[in-house]
Amino acid sequence: MNAELDFTNCDREQIQYAGAIQPHGALLVLQEPGLRILQASANTDDYLGLAPDRLLGQGIEVVLGEAATAGLRERLSMQRLNGVLLRLMAVQPLACDKPCHLFGNRTDDGLLLLEFERLDEAARVGAPDLYQEVHTTLQRLQATPTLHAFFDLAVAEIRAITGFDRVMAYRFDVDGSGEVIAESVQEGLETYLGLHYPAADIPEPARRLFRLTWLRHLPDVDYQPVPLLAGPDHPGAVPVDLSYSFLRSVSVMYTGYLQNMGVKATLVTTLLKDGKLWGLISCMHHAAPKYLPYETRVAVECLAHMVSLLMSGKDAEEHYGYRLRLGAAREQLLDALFRNNALHQTLIQIRPDVLTMLDADGVALFSDGRLSLLGRTPSAPEILALADWLATRSELSFASHHLPLDYPPAAAFQSVASGLLAVRWSHAAPDGLMWFRAEWQQVVDWAGDPHKPVEIDDTAGEIRLLPRTSFALWKETVAGQSRRWLDCEIEHALELRREILDFIVRHTEHLRRINL
Ligand code: BLA
């Protein structure tokens, strides 16, 4: 066993260059503007009625005929696809009696990828009902009273629409690990609600794709990958970037992982908040492979977009009262500040002080060479060293609910300050405010041992990473962490900083005038 094995291996797999697709469609790689076929998936016969050797080197007309090719050219000229996967049109391949959806995207290397998926007549007929259902769901989502109820409803509705036997909302933590925060699961299956998964389970290349494509579908975990073939005039053809392809063959690390979990099919959509990756909706099917037609996928994608947009509002709504209280307390504090003309005295000694208004355990004010403390805080030398460290950072604000991870000396005082919310007045000096939160000894349920995300198989004479096979509940007491800082608390700290700065500037000006 190699003790030095590096789990970032998973972060290095170039999953976009898979060189193969899943079998629920066919893919052609073309060169523009001639639309000559450079590569074809080995299964084109199944969807287009022509084997790859009859396509490679030919123009797309052999598949679509002249009229449909003219239509395709027109659509392509209207759309600079910019990578984004687009449904272009429904087509009837000349050599096949079944119609297809045709999707397209352009790679950064200027290649055109065309993907063909069989058109599902029943899904097309059912689409209007489905869109009505999405509409009703949106209205119901808007009416949910809390973020918790919002996600419970979102996963239940997506399960109703898709028929997957498990649908989860998964939220990322800052370190890349994550937690199942809502779940709708078929009776009889064990629940994953509340389980935490380590960052290594979803490596960086997969996260990159989450931002590019909103929806990824794996209808059959046990599928046989279909290779991409190149023509004889293109020996050793360059690997094609399949980042936007919906048919891309996925990593064996992922399929192995799902097989270990007893999962037969998945559908994963992205959740963004303020443009950043926030979480996922992950759908799993345990009973059998499960293919979701294009019409249903669009409905889920639309819901995922709406969930992303609405959840920020829900989050804000949920803390509305607290936000109002923070605002009112800030106003009172500033009034007092301008009346007293004394920063330390006002912020620390007069009620409401900077601590009572914000949910924290201690506060430190460092200004004009003076340090004032209130509540439970680290010692004065520890705070001054921390202020010096903060002053080396380019940002004027800092929020962490695991300070010892960001600043290792904090391990010495983590029981009183595992959480830190800090603002500095300026880049010129370490002066500013720090709120502390005590360590929150919480028990976290991990699905498997997060320190051992893979098992190692060296039986074949080579060391290979295998997805973990044990999903036994593994409990870890998380040390060195506090409750998270809410967005409204961070905003409050920033607003207070701006107002205090305003006070300092006016106060200095006032003193200057007096001394003139
Ligand atoms: C991909 N792993 C993924 C994806 C998810 C997870 C959601 C993206 C799938 C997609 O885009 O369709 C993991 N799914 C989860 C988790 C939950 C869930 C945690 O529902 C929790 C509820 N996987 C491992 C380990 C490695 C690994 C140890 O567990 C590597 C050593 C690799 N996972 C891995 C790879 C991918 C992946 C390489 C990308 C697959 C691909 O798109 O090609």
Residue 274 forms part of a structural domain? no
Given a cut of 80, is residue 2 above it in pLDDT? no
What is the distance between the alpha carbons of residues 36 and 58, in angstroms, rounded to a whole number? 5
What is the distance between the alpha carbons of residues 334 and 244, in angstroms, rounded to a whole number? 52
Residue 176 forms part of a structural domain? no
Residue 113's CATH number: 3.30.450.20
Q: Which of 67, 83, 118 is the last residue of a domain?
A: 118
What is the distance between the alpha carbons of residues 314 and 150, in angstroms, rounded to a whole number? 8
Given a cut of 90, is residue 273 above it in pLDDT? no
C-alpha 147 – ligand 1 centre gap (Å): 26
Residue 197 forms part of a structural domain? no
Is 10 near ligand 1, meaning CB less than 6 Å away? yes
Q: Which of 66, 91, 118 is the last residue of a domain?
A: 118
Is 216 near ligand 1, meaning CB less than 6 Å away? yes
Residue 491's CATH number: 3.30.450.270
Residue 265 forms part of a structural domain? no
Given a cut of 90, is residue 137 above it in pLDDT? yes
Given a cut of 60, is residue 464 above it in pLDDT? no
Q: From the CA of 178, give the closest atom in ligand 1.
A: 19
Is 200 near ligand 1, meaning CB less than 6 Å away? yes
Highest mean pLDDT among 126-130, 198-202, 416-420: 416-420
Confidence grade of residue 4 (pLDDT, cut at 50, 70, 90):
very low
Q: Give the C-alpha distances (Å, rounded to integers) separating 152 from 138, 147, 196, 281, 394.
A: 13, 9, 18, 12, 40
The first and second tokens of residue 121, run together, are 């007549």
Given a cut of 90, is residue 491 above it in pLDDT? yes
Residue 246 forms part of a structural domain? no
Among residues 394, 451, 385, 393, which one has the least CA distance to residue 417?
A: 385
Residue 269 forms part of a structural domain? no
Confidence grade of residue 1 (pLDDT, cut at 50, 70, 90):
very low
Read off the pLDDT of each residue in 108-113 and give the average, rounded to a whole number. 87
Pocket test for ligand 1, best of 201, 268, 283, 469 (most atoms within 8 A of CB): 201
C-alpha 195 – ligand 1 centre gap (Å): 15
> What is the pLDDT, as a whole number, of residue 236?
63
The first and second tokens of residue 493, run together, are 């700290």
Q: From the CA of 467, give the closest atom in ligand 1.
A: 28
> What is the pLDDT, as a whole number, of residue 378?
97
> What is the pLDDT, as a whole number, of residue 197?
86
Given a cut of 90, is residue 397 above it in pLDDT? yes
Q: Which of 100, 118, 136 is the last residue of a domain?
A: 118
What is the distance between the alpha carbons of residues 48 and 451, in angstroms, rounded to a whole number? 48
> What is the pLDDT, as a whole number, of residue 124?
83
Q: CB count, 10 Å around CB of 273?
A: 15
Read off the pLDDT of each residue in 104-108 and give the average, rounded to a whole number. 88
> What is the pLDDT, as a whole number, of residue 8?
56
Residue numbers of the domain that contains 103: 9-118
Is 254 near ligand 1, meaning CB less than 6 Å away? yes
The first and second tokens of residue 418, run together, are 């595992």
> What is the pLDDT, as a whole number, of residue 167?
98
Q: What is the CA radius of gyration of the chain?
A: 28
Given a cut of 60, is residue 7 above it in pLDDT? no
Number of structural domains found in the chain: 2
Is 263 near ligand 1, meaning CB less than 6 Å away? no
Question: 315 and 487 in contact (C-beta within 8 Å)?
Answer: yes
Given a cut of 90, is residue 294 above it in pLDDT? yes
Which tens digit of pLDDT belongs to each residue from 318-357? 788 888 889 998 998 888 888 888 888 888 877 777 887 8
Which tens digit of pLDDT belongs to each residue from 70-80? 999 988 888 77
> What is the pLDDT, as a whole number, of residue 11?
74
Output the residue whose Cα is nearest ligand 1's atom 25.
201
The first and second tokens of residue 283, run together, are 């759908």
Q: CB count, 10 Å around CB of 142?
A: 12
C-alpha 208 – ligand 1 centre gap (Å): 12
C-alpha 1 – ligand 1 centre gap (Å): 24
Global ipTM: 0.96
Residue 236 forms part of a structural domain? no
Phi, psi (5° rounding) for residue 92? -115, 100
Read off the pLDDT of each residue in 163-167 and give the average, rounded to a whole number. 97
C-alpha 468 – ligand 1 centre gap (Å): 12
Mean per-residue pLDDT over the chain, rounded: 88
What is the distance between the alpha carbons of residues 65 and 307, in angstroms, rounded to a whole number? 41
Residue 148 forms part of a structural domain? no
